[in-house]
């Protein structure tokens, strides 16, 4: 197991101590507590009424002001009628059931902190209004962690982290069938994103992806121990002088001779000064990473955030369980 999973998955009593998950994040989002020490709220109703949220629905729990650890009573598909804004100090925990948010507007974390989203599938998201067709949009928020989720086939992208958001970890997720996957940073003129610090680790960027895994503006991204499988444009891109450390990833290029390069610099002639570094990555089928810059590129994690990054040769094992897990009570997950 990777550094995050080994913290909790080997415990057969995980269901009796679900909130222990909150101690297992690593990277910049390691301090996200979610609903730890709050009461448990169980979703029993898959319906959605944005104007009058009903107790027992996901929306009702997600918008409460108090810390909540949100569970699901059974398998369910939730088709939201409006974008669901998750408030601070919430954990959405799909372990033990199959939960899908699909075929409607999807989720955002807006001006919030300490949010954990774990073990759900988010796909086929529709745009309620322009700019909100992503699976999850994190805007103006901090201390968030998305882990072991499935993302696919949304109108816009699968994840945007924008407008000054920082201290976030994206880990153990499975991404597939999407053009624009993940955007870090709102636009080239949004200087507030210079403070952005994001960890992207142990994810499987699977078949059917074109670009933005991630695309970074201004801030810092530590991209570690991810599996990249046959992108059709580029894997990691950016603009506005971001700093990127690609460490211990495995990149397998497609057979398209024009899509071998991992990296893409966008809209700037000074890209050679940008600090983009590759360390202990593995490159297959002609993939290659163009390094640049000479500045500092280490993440400088605090002790609570730090984790050991393996050589890229270990990535197939470390990402083998990416996406929602099949978890059963009284068994290791």
Residues in the chain, pLDDT under 50: none
Active-site residue, from 9, 18, 163, 212: 212
pLDDT number for residue 130: 66
What does each C-alpha distance from 321 to 8, 30, 198 come to in angstroms?
Answer: 14, 20, 22
Residue 217: active-site member: no
What does DSSP say about strands 99-104 and 121-125: parallel, antiparallel, or unpaired? parallel
Across the beta sheet with 282-284, the strand order is 76-78, 99-104, 121-125, 150-152, 174-176, 204-205, 227-229, 250-252, 282-284
pLDDT number for residue 268: 76
In the CATH scheme, what is the code of domain 5-318?
A: 2.160.20.10
Tokens (6 digits) for 207 = 């078949």
Main-chain phi, psi angles of 22, to 5 degrees: -65, -15
231 in Cβ contact with 205 (< 8 Å): yes
111 in Cβ contact with 140 (< 8 Å): yes
What does each C-alpha distance from 95 to 1, 29, 326 come to in angstroms?
Answer: 17, 20, 7
Q: What is the pTM of this model?
A: 0.98
Q: Domain map of the chain by residue range?
A: 5-318
């Amino acid at each position: 197991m990777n550094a995050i999973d080994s913290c909790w998955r080997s415990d057969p009593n995980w269901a009796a101590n679900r909130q222990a998950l909150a101690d297992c994040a690593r990277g910049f989002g390691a301090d996200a507590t979610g609903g730890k020490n709050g009461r448990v709220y169980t979703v029993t109703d898959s319906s959605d009424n944005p104007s009058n949220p009903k107790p027992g629905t996901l929306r009702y729990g997600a918008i409460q002001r108090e810390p909540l650890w949100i569970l699901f009573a059974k398998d369910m598909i939730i088709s939201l009628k409006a974008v669901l804004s998750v408030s601070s100090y919430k954990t959405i925990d799909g372990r033990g059931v199959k939960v899908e948010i699909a075929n409607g507007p999807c989720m955002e974390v807006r001006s919030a902190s300490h949010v954990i989203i774990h073990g759900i599938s988010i796909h086929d998201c529709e745009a309620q209004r322009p700019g909100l067709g992503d699976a999850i949009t994190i805007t103006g928020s901090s201390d968030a962690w998305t882990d072991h989720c499935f993302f696919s086939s949304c109108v816009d992208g699968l994840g945007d982290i924008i407008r000054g958001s920082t201290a976030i970890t994206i880990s153990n997720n499975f991404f597939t069938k999407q053009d624009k996957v993940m955007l870090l940073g709102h636009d080239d003129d949004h200087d507030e994103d210079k403070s952005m610090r994001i960890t992207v680790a142990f994810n499987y960027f699977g078949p059917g992806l074109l670009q933005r895994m991630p695309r970074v503006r201004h801030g810092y991204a530590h991209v570690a121990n991810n599996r990249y499988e046959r992108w059709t444009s580029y894997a990691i891109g950016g603009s506005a002088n971001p700093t990127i450390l690609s460490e211990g990833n495995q990149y397998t290029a497609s057979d398209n001779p024009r899509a071998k390069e991992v990296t893409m610099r966008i809209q700037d002639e000074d890209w050679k000064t940008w600090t983009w570094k590759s360390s202990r990555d593995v490159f297959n089928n002609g993939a290659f990473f163009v390094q640049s810059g000479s500045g500092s590129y280490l993440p400088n994690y605090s002790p609570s955030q730090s984790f050991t990054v393996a050589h890229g040769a270990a990535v197939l094992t470390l990402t083998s369980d990416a996406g929602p897990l099949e978890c059963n009570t009284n068994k290791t997950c």
